[in-house]
Structure 1
Amino acid sequence: MHLPTNQKKPFFRSPAGWATLGTVPVLALGAFFLWPSASPSHAADAQDASVPDARAKYVNRGLFPSDEPGDEQARTITGKVYSIDGQPLAGVQVSATSFAIAGNLPTTVASLETDADGRFEMRLADGTYQLVANKSGYGPSFVPAQTGESVSLVLTKSGTVRGRVLDADRAPMQRFVIDVLTAAPDSFAAPMPLFSKRFEGTDGTFEVSEFPAWPVVIRATAVDHAPAFSNAIHLEKPGDTREVELLLGDGCVLEGTVKDGSGRPLADVFVDAEARFPGGVSEVSMEAASRTESDGEGRFRLEHAPSGKVVLRGYDSEHAPSTVVVEVAADCKPSKSLDLVMSDGGSISGVARKSDGSPLPGARLTLMQRAVGFVNVIADEEGQFRFDSIPPGNTRLELVYGNQRTSAAVRVEEGAVTERDITVHPTGQGEIRGRITAGGAPLAGVQVLVATNRGREQGLDVRFPVTDKDGVYKLAGLPGGHYAVNVVTSAKTEGVQVEEGQVAVLDLDIAEPPKTGARAEAE
């Protein structure tokens, strides 16, 4: 199952391998992209083979801007973690990740454990975060959240992967880091490793028992070696096991220059490398643990970088995050000179509106893309908003209004301003209600994702009712249409048709396996 660093195979060959819904990335509208670290110490271990680990000039735009004094005051995200059988889980490590180093490098900014009732409360600066949850023996879980929100996470039982990490001469590595990675398209924020831990020993062996119920990739890294990536690994049932062998080579040295648009060399630009892989819908990138900064003459040197298709990204405080993609041959010769040109990027400008078309002053808007992570702005008193210094390409724009979100794809062009208004979706006379259970036991305080696609211009309509003490959820005021209903962070998703003025009933039990194949057709 070894995948050499210069042979990159598709992770997900089918479009059903992953899909996206608002800021909630999901697999087949059910199983979520996750990326927690096993613990704060493990997260630190994962950086052994990369430098530097801090950026004084980089600005984290995932925090909400404000002219009011005290805007850096901590705010709260609360939540609860359940097992797949509906029991609250104590001692779960819950971490909040942000983008403090660079827009494509998620970092842990806070971490704590759930109490005896599975609850947690986390105080953070006002902004957007990825909340990730880990517990030994369970598959990790995550949910994007903004300060002021209450969320829920569900953990499933995990299978196990055992393996060995060897050097190019097939001698056992004695010190290395194992990461479990998931893939996300470039129009979403970069995911953190689901699991990350340093292993030491004489035989190069490792064992990991924290895997979600969808395909992931194992990455091995070590000092003075290039990373190695496994093929996609899918542990479909609790207790499943796999064997993996990974070979670490020396990798390649990539040297180049960083310049501005006029050709002037730029110093102190943070540069990192990502390995590029073909996916089922589009190519995906995974961080390759190679980082550096340009010197006074704009030169940079990345050591122990992978071969194959490599993405180099540059970050400073004066330009948009900038990218160059290069093919690196097995003999480490790049397909072109590595000139990273820092650009001004493009902009998105528009008006946030209520469903009746009137402006929505003070609206909170979030833009996401792999190169930038999260970028947050607040609409002015006329509902106008603007995002600047955004790299060209597809991005995801989201408007948050109460428990409702509008999410739309936007294409950014270099040097241009893209005009894109975004509107809260209208209400109607339909309703969805039902009961959320786990093995028949009601789940209280669980978020339910109800979503429908209203077309390219209107975007995705995403709403989040919460279950009461009896596990009952209700969502009124819906226009007619077909809706996907998901228990947030579980693998359970089903569809329901809502008729105008009618009540649709949909009960979900997260302990039951999703309907697939012949079973789904029969029902």
Structure 2
Amino acid sequence: MKRFLPWALGVVVVVVCFLVGRSLSTPAPSQAPSAGPPSAARVEVRTERAPAAGARGGGGGPAEAVALQVVPDADATGTLRLQGLVLDAQELPVAGALVRLDSASVSPVQTGQDGTFLFTGLPSRAFQIEAFHASAMAGPVSFWLREGTEPLVLHLLPAATLQVDVVEQGSRKPLPGARVEVRVPQPRTADTDGSGRALVQALPAGRHTLRVAAPGYAPVWRFVSVGAASAVPQPLTVELAAGAAVSGTVVDSRGAPVPGARITPVPQAGSMLPLTDARWDGVVADAEGRWRFDSLEPGLYRFSASGSRNAPGASASVRVAGAQPVDGVVVTLGDAARLSGTVVDGHGAPVPGAVVRVVLDEGLGRTVARQASVGVRGDFHLEDLPRRRVAVAAVHDGASSSTRYVDLAQDGAGADVELVLDATGVVRGRVEFASGEAVGEAVVMAEPLGSRLRDRVEGTLRGKHVTVADPGGRFELRGLVQGTYQLRAAAPGTPVHQRVAWLGTATQAETGGPEVVLKLRRGGSLSGQVRLEDGATPAAFTVTLRGGSGTSFGGGDGRFQLTDIPAGEYTVFVSGTGFLTKALPGVKVAEDQDTPMGAIALSRGRRLTGRVLGAGGAPVPGAIVTVSQQLRGSSVVVGGAAELEHGLQRVNTDGEGRYVLEGLSISALQLGAEHAIEGRSASVRVEEGVQDRTQDLSLAAVGQLEGTVRRGAVPVSGVLVLVTSPGAAAGGTSGSTGTDGSFQFGSLAPGTYTVLAVVDSGAGQQVERASAIIRPGETARVDLELPRGEVTLVVQAQPSQAGTSAAAARAILLAQEAQGGAGAPTQVQTLTLTEPARFANIAPGAYQVCVSAAPVQGAPVSDSGTLLPPNCQPVRVSLSPAEQMMMVAMPAP
């Protein structure tokens, strides 16, 4: 059987790491009210309802395809009031806490001296609410507001603090008065003091967008991974430099100016998800459609626009280089579509107070995710939508509708759409300790087991299913699509974003089935003491459980303790600046016990120093130097979890072009440098060893890559595009397609590259591959075509004949090459004995389905760098029927 390149497994492994590491919030209004509130006077709200990513396998927490950020339309003024109370950990009222609703039409309020707050003029709909004060926060939580809604009680819990030092690039001079924002999803802001330092408080754990701006400097947007609550602020340094002005016009499809449109810069390199947000980063076009950004840092951008009765649109890619202004950028908006209709119950009666969500979900990046409230007659209206195929659903507190797909490219298709709240599945149960004692107010989370309900569309339209048990430990989850769900319980007050708490074993339950009993095991703890090999204590360090968020600790004497960890076996990582990340596998945590890890010796690892030089030999300040462990195939390190696993580090050169990288592995490394103006270095292999190294890097002329991703004649937006080259630092780079399906990479060292287009496909990914040769000063082009078949291949697993079967496997669909061997993977899905893999949009033809229990580790490698494949078997897909099935053996674990 033919061998194939490991990029299929490599890419999927890294992409999955990103999906697990990334947390995007979206309301989840399918929560059922608890069977009995703690008192008749108020409703206790102790947990957030925004979805949080967890880990899979090995006692993993809830899995989730990345849900899209839902942006609610402006609310009409209503007649309802919302009252509430904010309490601290000692159940005392908190004065001066800031309370926010997820509504652009409603301003935040502060609590009074008695800890109470009041919102007025609200419509009936599902809301998210959050409160924060100093370094504590509550929420975000979701609830349904209607006549008679009881007052909410929000309990503040400890949260993380980010310490951001803002300095001038090159000189490292502190910058007072810089504005620092962390978007979670509403911005938390702080200004730097005289030393250039800002403390951003009340942050939930997860991966968030950071924006830093100062007068006279270009703003920067970055992803930042925030750890769990800790007494020690998490440190971060951000460098700012002068940028260039960019200006242009926005026009409609006929070329007429569009006044009032909102234009947003979208950086193109290094991220599959948008860093910028029109609500906070956009500027508004004037009466002649003109717009301007005073300063943007060098790099490649698109400029997106929306609003003013037009569909969203984007410019072509624009390069900003140095301080030279860029003018004449044109953003073209498309013709808008309208979606309207009614929401009714199973008897045809209108349902006011429901919400309707619409999602355009073509790739892996956000394109459109909107929400509108349903009026008093059950009517809804959404304007300014793209003329594309969208997914639509309505949700209410006790029911939801089936997902409808509406092709807005067809005239009239978006009018009079009726959404029936026909999903009324219920799961009931109770939470108790092993002794049988009820766990009052336990937090319960349900995750659908079927892959069709786990994909990004469903995750965005329906959100997470979370509820709070009553004082007797009983709970009810309503409005579920019929099927099987995995349920987990956590201690009272556990936020959903507290990922470690959700690492316990799940219990399966069927909608409409018998009452399920969730056994909540009391947590244990881990303790230890870290020391560097010379006996010193690191200035700061982070302890992370695989699948959970890290907790930061100050140097002190190096002691640490993690509490409230579900009993089980974990891999523990100790990471920080100036030493090598240490992985400690097989650490067992027992219920109600502390697991002492003893003294943990940390190695300083290797140190790499050097200079980055331009083509003429002059030092280059502000260049980005990247190092990672050596990767095989066409993998790309994307996301916080993958960065930890692969030892990725990035630093900027100082004013003399020097860089310092510390705490590096003794294994072989990949090193490279780039600069938006000066170019990119060739990738350098740093051989394995324990000695420190000095390595200068020379920047040289680069080439560009551009292309499109289409399905038939239709461009596909939001596609993750990976551009990789053997030996490249971090494996390569990534970006995403715009609304026209185009992508561009503007700074690639000469050489041969693999280009991968990855799109969401149910609970897995669909992948297309091509190659490109980059030459200095030239632009290469690659156009990728996604399959447009109409057949779904269902792959069902049967138990392994060898005995024990793996709990889950990866199923890969490969197109058959002309010579009969396995070609490029087209889709990758998860497979279990109870849940088949579903490969959609398959064209008739010959394929192979390959199954492996896990990513291939240490597999035999040929001289050409290929791996021996997992178990494969051929299959021929015919023109009909629309759904075809095959059986495969589940591999051994």
TM-score of the alignment, normalized to the shorter chain, above 0.5: yes
Contact 2:207 2:223 in 1 (8 A): no
> Which residue is 1:3 aligned to?
none
Task: Kindly provide the amino acid, as one letter, of the partner of residue 28 in structure 1.
Answer: A
Among 47, 52, 67, which residue is 1:27 paired with?
52
Which blocks of at least 5 consecutive residues in structure 2 are unaligned?
Answer: 1-13, 29-49, 55-60, 67-71, 360-365, 524-562, 572-585, 590-893
For each residue in 1:192-248, what CA deviation from the matched residue of structure 2 results, as whole angstroms up to 9, or x when unmatched? 21x2122331x2122334332223343221223221245523324523443322111
Q: Which has the larger displacement, 246-255 or 328-337?
A: 328-337
| Partners of 2:157 and 2:392 in 1: CA distance | 31
| Partners of 1:16 and 1:345 in 2: CA distance | 35
For each residue in 1:173-201, what CA deviation from the matched residue of structure 2 results, as whole angstroms up to 9, or x when unmatched? 1211111234xxxxxxxx321x2122331
Contact 1:466 1:473 in 2 (8 A): yes
1:195-274 equivalences in 2 (<5 Å): 195-201=188-194, 203-230=195-222, 232-236=224-228, 238-274=230-266
> Which residue is 1:47 aligned to?
none
Among 157, 163, 178, which residue is 2:180 paired with?
178
> Which residue is 2:677 aligned to?
none
Among 481, 486, 510, which residue is 2:484 paired with?
481
Structure 1 residue 396, shift from structure 2 partner: 6.9
> Which residue is 1:192 aligned to?
186
| Partners of 2:323 and 2:402 in 1: CA distance | 41
Q: Does 1:312 align with 2:337?
A: no
SS at match of 2:192: strand
SS at match of 1:247: strand
Q: Which has the larger displacement, 256-265 or 328-337?
A: 328-337
Structure 1 residue 462, shift from structure 2 partner: 6.0
| Partners of 1:513 and 1:267 in 2: CA distance | 54
State the TM-score, normalized to the length of structure 2.
0.43
| Partners of 2:372 and 2:463 in 1: CA distance | 20
Q: Does 1:496 align with 2:516?
A: no
| Partners of 2:567 and 2:391 in 1: CA distance | 29
For each residue in 1:403-424, what CA deviation from the matched residue of structure 2 results, as whole angstroms up to 9, or x when unmatched? 4455858676557636876443
Among 499, 502, 505, which residue is 2:517 paired with?
505
Q: RMSD in angstroms over aligned alpha carbons?
A: 4.7
Q: Which has the larger displacement, 495-504 or 362-371?
A: 362-371
**Distance change in 2, residues 1:211/1:387 (3 Å):** closer
> Which residue is 1:48 aligned to?
none
Structure 1 residue 320, shift from structure 2 partner: 3.6
Contact 1:155 1:490 in 2 (8 A): no
Contact 2:218 2:241 in 1 (8 A): yes
Task: Kindly provide the amino acid, as one letter, of the partner of residue 265 in structure 1.
Answer: P
Q: Does 1:283 align with 2:292?
A: no
Structure 1 residue 133, shift from structure 2 partner: 1.7
Look at both structures and tell me which one has the larger radius of gyration over its CA atoms.
2
Q: Does 1:143 align with 2:141?
A: yes
Task: Kindly provide the amino acid, as one letter, of the partner of residue 239 in structure 1.
Answer: A
**Distance change in 2, residues 1:239/1:368 (3 Å):** farther
Task: Kindly provide the amino acid, as one letter, of the partner of residue 498 in structure 1.
Answer: A
**Distance change in 2, residues 1:303/1:379 (3 Å):** same
> Which residue is 1:401 aligned to?
396
Structure 1 residue 96, shift from structure 2 partner: 2.4
Contact 2:356 2:380 in 1 (8 A): no
For each residue in 1:349-398, what CA deviation from the matched residue of structure 2 results, as whole angstroms up to 9, or x when unmatched? 566454x57564546233367787754243786x6755332146787745
Structure 1 residue 156, shift from structure 2 partner: 3.9
| Partners of 2:325 and 2:403 in 1: CA distance | 36
Which blocks of at least 5 consecutive residues in structure 1 are unaligned?
Answer: 1-9, 34-59, 65-71, 101-107, 183-190
SS at match of 2:119: strand
1:38-437 equivalences in 2 (<5 Å): 61-64=73-76, 72-79=77-84, 87=91, 90-91=94-95, 92-99=97-104, 109-113=107-111, 120-126=117-123, 129-138=127-136, 141-145=139-143, 147-148=145-146, 155-168=156-169, 169-182=171-184, 191-193=185-187, 195-201=188-194, 203-230=195-222, 232-236=224-228, 238-275=230-267, 278-279=270-271, 282-287=272-277, 290-324=281-315, 326-331=317-322, 338-348=329-339, 352-354=343-345, 356=346, 358=348, 360-362=350-352, 364-367=354-357, 374-378=370-374, 385-391=380-386, 397-405=392-400, 408=403, 417=413, 422-427=419-424, 431-434=428-431
Task: Kindly provide the amino acid, as one letter, of the partner of residue 81 in structure 2.
Answer: T
| Partners of 1:82 and 1:516 in 2: CA distance | 33
| Partners of 1:337 and 1:489 in 2: CA distance | 46
> Which residue is 1:42 aligned to?
none
SS at match of 2:107: strand
Contact 1:274 1:286 in 2 (8 A): yes
1:11-26 equivalences in 2 (<5 Å): 13-18=17-22, 23-24=27-28, 25-26=50-51
SS at match of 2:202: coil
Structure 1 residue 399, shift from structure 2 partner: 2.2
SS at match of 2:81: strand
Contact 1:322 1:341 in 2 (8 A): yes
Q: Does 1:452 align with 2:452?
A: no
Contact 1:159 1:241 in 2 (8 A): yes
Structure 1 residue 80, shift from structure 2 partner: 5.6
Task: Kindly provide the amino acid, as one letter, of the partner of residue 174 in structure 1.
Answer: P
Q: Which has the larger displacement, 453-462 or 247-256?
A: 453-462
Structure 1 residue 16, shift from structure 2 partner: 0.9
Task: Kindly provide the amino acid, as one letter, of the partner of residue 98 in structure 1.
Answer: S
Which structure's relative contact order is higher, taking Cα pairs within 8 Å and 6+ residues apart? 1
**Distance change in 2, residues 1:227/1:345 (3 Å):** same
| Partners of 1:467 and 1:239 in 2: CA distance | 30
Q: Which has the larger displacement, 246-255 or 333-342?
A: 333-342
For each residue in 1:420-449, what CA deviation from the matched residue of structure 2 results, as whole angstroms up to 9, or x when unmatched? 76443544675222269xxx99665x8755
State the TM-score, normalized to the length of structure 1.
0.69
| Partners of 1:515 and 1:336 in 2: CA distance | 59
> Which residue is 2:533 aligned to?
none
Structure 1 residue 498, shift from structure 2 partner: 1.6
Contact 1:215 1:234 in 2 (8 A): yes
> Which residue is 2:672 aligned to?
none
Alignment: residue pair count: 455
| Partners of 1:204 and 1:12 in 2: CA distance | 37
**Distance change in 2, residues 1:412/1:162 (3 Å):** farther
Task: Kindly provide the amino acid, as one letter, of the partner of residue 509 in structure 2.
Answer: V
> Which residue is 1:57 aligned to?
none
